[in-house]
Amino acid sequence: MAYPFKTLNISKIAVIGAGQIGPDIALHFAKSLSPYEVEIVVVDISVAALALAESKIEKKIKKAVETGAFKVAQAEKIKNALLFSINYESIKGADIVVEAATENTWVKDNIFQQVETLTDDHCIFLSNSSHLQPEVIFENIRNRSRCLVAHYFFPAEINPVVEIVPGAETDPALTDMLLAFYESIGKIPIQVKSAYGYAVDPIFEGLCQTAIQCLEKGWGNEKEIDAAAVKALGLGVGPFTALNLTGGNPITAHGLDELGRLVLPWFKTPALLHEKNNQKEPWETAARGETVTMGAEKEAKLVKTFQGAFFALSGFILDTGIVQVDDLNLACEMALVLKAPFTFMNAMGIKQAHDLASTFCAEHPGFPMPKSLDQAKAAGGWKLRDIVCKQHNQVLFITIRRPRVMNALNLEVLGQIRDALEAVKVNDPMTNDPMTNDPIRAVVITGFGIKAFVSGADLNMITSLKTPEEGVQNSRSFQAVLNYVADYPKPIVCAMNGFAFGGGNELAMACTARIAKKGLPVIFCQPEVNLGFIPGAGGTQRLPRIIGVEKAAEILRTGRPVAAKEALELGFIQQEAEHDLLTEAAELVLKIANGQLKPKPLPNEPMSSNGSPKALEIGHLSKKIDEILVKSIYEGSRMSLQEGLALESKLFGNCMQTEDMKIGLENFKTNGPKTPAHFIHQ
């Protein structure tokens, strides 16, 4: 077997290097691709290193089984996919080779020259370098069009971010392919232009430099500085702890000096880091559960320093032009486990953030004030988007990208979608497909990743609603954007890459048609009744008009999930994608645009009388909310669509007056989605 992806057909991947990160990269590939029986070979010249790598992976798999992350059969499949070899000949037949050796140009060059003799010209060469430019790594490789950097972050099997760094001669089509491939196996790929250190590491290493400089100045000890950094930036662990966990002293020491030589003179390895590196000593950090306290004045000074450094470093990287602001914002948040820098600055207030960065730069003469920060201050903040828009073959692709909350919707994201649609509503040459200069004739909306199209409406937004009037207004605001989608003059197909819950499903229903990845065990669900309220973005009106009142009522009232197979039988989706979802979605939407296919339109007029609702066992769910929901479904079906939507908004607001909505939301907040709420039916 093999993993078919677009034009790739992957049956074997080789990972070279059994040291710090290579085994983790191999484990992620095995976890993702073992269902397709893809062989993952780990190669190293050291028998001892291979033995340690195999032991490390086995321990991680065993722990995953114990915690329930892996089922026993899945764990066996993962282990069977892995092969550990000292023989470079085992690389033969690989479709992708990932080098994860030491950060040394000579070593990497020798590895790839040897790999080139063992593989054919279609094999993709990836280096997990953390700093070196692809032009340097692959200088002596004959076919550099298939070579680029894929920079993983610690721990590689868990940390989702991978920086994709093409070289000057890398085939752009391959870069696009790899971005999509990594997304398909659960990663968050970020494209970065070739530059020493790429986009994220200079920020991390700059923060480490700042921490060590604070230590050298006597502003605190390691534990205090770590604690202040965590408070300042929302870090998972402080800089000293991170260096200990990753064994990062040597590579950070080398990286800082090279960053100073090649990127910005401010970067410089502190003497204390050289000392720790030479003595091979860890930093003195807090034990698990240990509380670190310090004086308020000391803490405030450290917090301001870290925030100023973070904002200045982020702005500097943006000034280099190697990465887009939305990509850097996401990469920092997910790879470094801290607050997204540009979102953080907007939330703090751009003037205060600018002042902190300006103070830091003034205190560090080698660090210029970033021009992008000046521009953001003048503009009143950073212009950020949670959607990614790409145009290809007369189709606009809109991807909702909020991986931390599984693409949950709020009014801001909906507004971004509307703005993107408005920009190509009219066939203006300025909005034509840049590849063909053809007008945009159709749209595909999808979600980022492999789990969720949209996990629902952002519950932080729902819980912020306090009065029925606020509930009604929120519902109407959602409906206004979805009505805009439904009435859009060009066809819009929803490509359901994963499950659509709540507001996500309501967005899908507003589209012209829907297509889903084949075999999804759950494609849609309206789970609002589990939380003590009813759908408010059109769910009670559009679902009955798509699949019929009685079937819709049963699904809405029980809040049960629906699989892709059933959704196809119900006529909810147009088709299941046999191969690449977005390719088939584009084909479908262009057929609609060309008049070759006419999907069943959603009726705007009242539906035929449906009599009384059938008796239905709803278990622990709120009878009060069910009463409101039944009214919305059945009375709304006897109205025009717009009248029904108005009724739904009113009744959504009525839910705010019930005790059960308060109980449901509090239960979700406290216990999560798997614990049933104890409704009192009031």
Question: Which CATH number goes with the domain that contains 339?
Answer: 1.10.1040.50
pLDDT attached to residue 437: 60
At 609 the pLDDT is 60
The neighbour count for residue 676, using CB atoms within 10 Å, is: 13
- The pLDDT assigned to 178 comes to 97
Say if residue 424 is in the same domain as residue 516.
Answer: yes
Residues 6+ apart with CB under 8 A from 426: none
Residue 678 lies in a domain: no
Give mean pLDDT in consecutive 10-residue pieces for the chain, a chain of 682 residues: 90 96 97 96 96 96 94 95 96 97 95 96 96 97 97 95 98 97 97 98 97 96 96 95 89 94 96 91 92 95 98 98 98 97 98 98 96 98 97 95 94 96 81 66 97 89 88 94 97 97 97 96 95 96 96 96 96 94 96 94 82 84 95 94 96 94 90 89 93
Last residue of a domain, one of 318, 345, 379: 379
pLDDT of residue 431: 62
- Cis geometry, peptide bond prior to residue 365 (ω within 30 degrees of 0): no
The reply to whether 18 and 39 lie within a common domain is: yes
- Assess whether 360 and 401 both reside in one domain: no
CATH number, position 394? 3.90.226.10
Same domain membership, residue 94 and residue 8: yes
Of the residues 191, 217, 245, which one is the last residue of a structural domain? 191
At residue 434, the pLDDT reads 58
SS3 (DSSP) at 558 = helix
How far is the C-alpha of 641 from the C-alpha of 604, rounded, in Å? 5
Please report whether residue 196 resides in a domain.
no
Residue 66 lies in a domain: yes
What is the structure's pLDDT at 134? 98
Is residue 679 domain-resident? Answer: no
Question: How high is the pLDDT of residue 668?
Answer: 87
Residue 37 falls inside a structural domain: yes
Q: Could you give the CA distance from residue 311 to residue 255 in angstroms, rounded to a whole number?
A: 20
Which among 191, 217, 250 is the end of a domain?
Answer: 191
Contact between residue 149 and residue 165 where contact means Cβ atoms under 8 Å apart: yes
Same domain assignment for residues 144 and 211: no
Specify burial of residue 609 (Cβ count, 10 A radius: 0-12, 13-18, 19+): exposed
For residue 682, being part of any structural domain is answered with no
Closest CA to 227 of 219, 218, 217, 237: 237
Where in the sequence is the domain holding 423, given as residue range(s)? 387-671
The alpha-carbon radius of gyration of the chain (Å, integer) is: 27
Is there a contact between 42 and 18 (Cβ–Cβ < 8 Å)? yes
Looking at the 3D structure of the chain, how many domains does it have?
Answer: 3
In a shared domain, residues 30 and 173: yes
Residue 72: both structure tokens together: 């026993």
Per-residue model confidence (pLDDT) at position 348: 97
Look at residue 20 in the predicted model and tell me its pLDDT: 87
Question: Minimal CA–CA distance to 520: which of 491, 498, 536?
Answer: 498
Instruction: Give the number of other Cβ atoms within 10 Å of residue 498's Cβ.
Output: 23
Residue 680 is assigned to a structural domain of this protein = no
Alpha-carbon separation of residue 181 from 3, 332, 377, 407, 449 (angstroms): 10, 21, 37, 19, 10
Could you give the 3-state DSSP secondary structure of residue 166? Answer: strand
Cα 7 to Cα 419: distance, rounded to the nearest angstrom:
33
Whether 628 and 664 have beta carbons less than 8 Å apart is answered as no
**Any idea what the CATH number is for the domain that residue 100 is in?**
3.40.50.720
316-337 per-position pLDDT tens digit: 999 999 999 999 999 999 999 9
- Residues 302, 361 within the same domain: yes
pTM score of the predicted model = 0.93
